[in-house]
Structure 1
Amino acid sequence: MTDIKVPHQRYVPQELSDEELVEHAKNELFHVTRAYEELMRRYQRTLFNVCARYLGNDRDADDVCQEIMLKVLYGLKKFQGKSKFKTWLYSITYNECTTQYRKDRRKRRLFDALSLNPLDEEVELEPINTKDNDLDRWLVGVNSIDREIIILRFVAELEFQDIASIMRLGLSATKMRYKRAIDRLRDNFSHIIDN
């Protein structure tokens, strides 16, 4: 990545590219947070939607989003710009969601082993209330890796190369898994699509 010169004058964060904001944030943090706040504002809604789809509920998504924002805040100074900021952000998101999902799965196994119903312990959990409930319903039957590829493609709107990088898969493997997952979804829900 080329070095972006950041002038020491006033700037309007909304008018800058992600890369320019990253450079401002690196120079300003932790005394001034304007550039960082603009970066988070740009991705806040999509970040939450990605987390909610991975984790299946808004409460966990909220918690993970807070963790992600803190990791970005403390990691920006070390961000080298080898990838786009958006790719780096969703790489952190993917890792945090995966960690949370594993914690939840271990917790469910413990409840099962103790013959407890995990829903009794977490009564406040409710299904995601989004306009895209159909997408959530469709993704239930897709294996976890394929589901993550679909979420990163459709919700985060990432390119295949970025998805491959985030998930540490080859580009052709990512495209192949995506195509197979879409074909499976199409087969499973053809009766809905055709109507």
Structure 2
Amino acid sequence: MTTSAPPYSRYVPADLSDEALVDRARVELLHSTVAYEELMRRYQRTVFNVCARYLGNERDADDVCQEVMLKVLHGLKQFEGKAKFKTWLYSITYNECITQYRKDKRRRRLYDALSLDPQEEAVPDPAPLDPGHASLDRVLIHVNPVDREILVLRFVAELEFQEIAQIMHLGLSATKMRYKRALEKLRNQLDNPF
């Protein structure tokens, strides 16, 4: 960690790299959140899009984004910088999405056990944020979660395979193979819609 300027000196957060902002945030968090806020501003939209596409609805995505931001806020002091900040952030996002997905899955099983239709309980989700991605959103809902996670990390978060491998705790070749298979399934879904 190399922070040359004192935390109270003036700086333009948008001009700093992620690493410099992380260093600043770690020093400042007791009395200022300027650097942290800039980090979140940079990644908030992409984190939300990753969550929305993974979970299939914006309401849950918004909740998960809030959890991610809190985990980043509380975890910055322990962030060691062994990976890029972006990789660490998406690792937290990925884990929070999995947690939310499992909660939803348990809830759906409960509805089934009680013979309730979860569709009756659910409030319809608003339209996707970007009309250009509407078809991707529709297809991702029908792709299994294992395939969805790697496609979302690659297409929405725009991560490299090595970063995805770190996040998913897989080897690089296993990550590439899963991606290739998921992409083939996605193509089949697009070729043979519903």
Contact 1:56–1:128 at 8 Å: present in 2 too?
Answer: no
Match of 1:169 in 2: 170
Deviations 1:53-105 (A, max 9, x none): 11111111111101110000010011000100000000000000100010001
1:158 lines up with 2:159 in the alignment: yes
Ranges in structure 2 where 5+ consecutive residues have no aligned partner? none
Contact 1:56–1:127 at 8 Å: present in 2 too?
Answer: no
Match of 1:6 in 2: 4
Q: How far 1:145 sits from its partner (Å)?
A: 1.6
C-alpha distance in 2 between matches for 1:136 and 1:75:
31
Match of 2:113 in 1: 113
Match of 2:52 in 1: 52
Greater mean alpha carbon deviation, residues 118-127 or residues 88-97: 118-127
Deviations 1:159-181 (A, max 9, x none): 10110111111110000111122
Secondary structure of the residue aligned to 1:189 is: helix
Percent identity between matched residues is 67
**Scaled by the length of structure 2, what TM-score is found?**
0.92
Q: Output the aligned Cα RMSD.
A: 1.7
C-alpha distance in 2 between matches for 1:190 and 1:107:
32
Amino acid at match of 2:153: L
Secondary structure of the residue aligned to 1:140 is: helix
Q: How far 1:6 sits from its partner (Å)?
A: 3.4
Contact 1:22–1:76 at 8 Å: present in 2 too?
Answer: yes
**Scaled by the length of structure 1, what TM-score is found?**
0.91
Ranges in structure 1 where 5+ consecutive residues have no aligned partner? none
Q: How far 1:190 sits from its partner (Å)?
A: 4.0
C-alpha distance in 1 between matches for 2:192 and 2:58:
30
C-alpha distance in 1 between matches for 2:20 and 2:13:
9
Count the aligned residue pairs.
Answer: 190
C-alpha distance in 2 between matches for 1:191 and 1:100:
29
C-alpha distance in 2 between matches for 1:65 and 1:38:
15
**1:67 to 1:188, Cα distance in 2 relative to 1, 3 A:** closer
Deviations 1:122-172 (A, max 9, x none): 234455343201112222343322211110011001010110111111110
Greater mean alpha carbon deviation, residues 47-56 or residues 32-41: 47-56
